[in-house]
């Protein structure tokens, strides 16, 4: 399991699918964050998860939350993935897996597949929910419940 509830969000800076820098600290004090780590663009489970976040995106934004997906895929891959599936949220490229390590998201299946974990961080920068599961289901529902409880 990754970073435990009650931990401060790690400081990280990554580029999004458009090549813009995303600095985690820029969002502390402004809005809660939903950060989901997923293994790979265009795979069936990851596509299902990303599309589930897309389908509930309005629920998150109405609650004032910012949704961010992170994988080690390139910015170009993220741009194609986002365009093909009409994803309205930010996808961050973590090629060196630094953010993944900071959030303690471990590999699964004989250490071959990057883990799938979702975190909700309140506007004060504290992790208030951590959900781990290789199946795509459950991530959106748990994150939405945590956001509504803030």
List residues with catalytic annotation: 46
Pairwise CA distance, residues 140 & 150, whole Å: 16
Neighbours of 50 (CB within 10 A): 25
CB atoms within 10 A of CB 30: 10
DSSP state string for 5-71: TTPBPPP-EEEETTS-EEEGGGGTTT--EEEEE-S-TTSHHHHHHHHHHHHTHHHHHHTT-EEEEEE
Helices 139-148 and 44-55, interaxial angle, to 10°?
A: 30
Tally of CB atoms within 10 A around 63: 16
């Amino acid at each position: 399991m990754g970073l435990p509830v009650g931990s401060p969000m790690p400081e990280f800076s990554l580029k999004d699918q458009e090549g813009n820098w995303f600095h985690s600290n820029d969002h502390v004090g402004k809005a809660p964050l939903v950060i989901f780590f997923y293994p790979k663009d265009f795979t069936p489970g990851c596509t299902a998860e990303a599309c589930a976040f897309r389908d509930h995106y309005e629920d998150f934004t109405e609650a004032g939350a910012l949704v961010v997906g992170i994988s080690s895929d390139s910015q170009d891959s993220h741009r194609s993935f986002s365009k093909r599936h009409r994803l309205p949220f930010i996808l961050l490229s973590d090629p060196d897996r630094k953010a993944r390590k900071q959030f303690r998201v471990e590999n699964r299946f004989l250490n071959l597949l990057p883990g799938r974990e979702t975190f909700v961080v309140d506007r004060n920068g504290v992790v208030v929910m951590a959900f781990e599961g290789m199946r795509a289901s459950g991530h959106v529902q748990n994150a939405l419940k945590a956001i509504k409880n803030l």
